[in-house]
Amino acid sequence: MPTALRIGPYRFYFYSYDCDEPRHMHVDREAKSAKFWLDPDVLLAANYGFRRKELRDIERIIRQNVEELRNEWDAFCYNDDDPTKGD
């Protein structure tokens, strides 16, 4: 489960088996979790416990770092050096 970014109390990550899905990030803080699509625009996909204001804050963080998050996804999921990726 690659961690793409840590900012404040938030951990942004994806699962290795997520590579078959469109680019997205999971974000956790304590026992709360959410999933955001990264393409074509940042969009909340699922929420498990965050309040609306905090989701807006998280979305802002994602938007500010969206290129880095997309690059982390691409580097892991589309790594040409690893023959097990992309099968």
Q: How many domains does the chain have?
A: 1
Considering the domain boundaries, does residue 42 fall inside one?
Answer: yes
- Domain hosting 57: range is 3-77
Contact 72, 25 (CB under 8 A): no
The verdict on residue 60 lying in a domain is yes
Let me know if residue 7 belongs to a domain: yes
pLDDT tens per residue across span 23-81? 999 999 999 999 999 999 999 999 999 999 999 999 999 999 999 999 999 999 988 55
* pTM value > 0.85: yes
Encoding tokens for residue 75? 């580097």
Q: Is 69 within a domain?
A: yes
Would you say residue 28 lies in a domain? yes
Task: Classify residue 63: in a domain, yes or no.
Answer: yes
